[in-house]
Structure 1
Amino acid sequence: MPHISIIGPVLPLEDKRRLVQKMTELVSDIYHIPKEKFMIHIFESLRENTGSGGELLSDKK
């Protein structure tokens, strides 16, 4: 069973539904595997918990 992990900012529930639906359709079409065989994991990361260039994203403008 293929697993897809998405790491990104916090999304509203409806946007998560759309993301999972569209990713499932795309990957199912490319891999020729039934949609029911995919697992998609969404990991939400707050800007205060993510750093880039030696700084927290929450400190960048």
Structure 2
Amino acid sequence: MSGEQKSKAHVEQAKGKAKEAIGRVVGNERMTAEGRAEQAKGDARQAKEKTKDAFRH
């Protein structure tokens, strides 16, 4: 399950980066903000998984 959550985190981060970049190119501030939010969500998920891994070892 942990591997699945880690991959979800990476996907969210990548989607967020792409959305942010597209938002900047087209000048859409809302899309840029949504991209940043998705990246933050992915970062939080990744941090949670790293914490869980630290306690397992």
Shared fold by TM > 0.5? Answer: no
User: Given the two structures, how large is their TM-score scaled by the length of structure 2?
Assistant: 0.40
Bigger proportion of residues as strand: 1
User: Given the two structures, how large is their TM-score scaled by the length of structure 1?
Assistant: 0.37
Larger radius of gyration: 1
Bigger proportion of residues as helix: 2
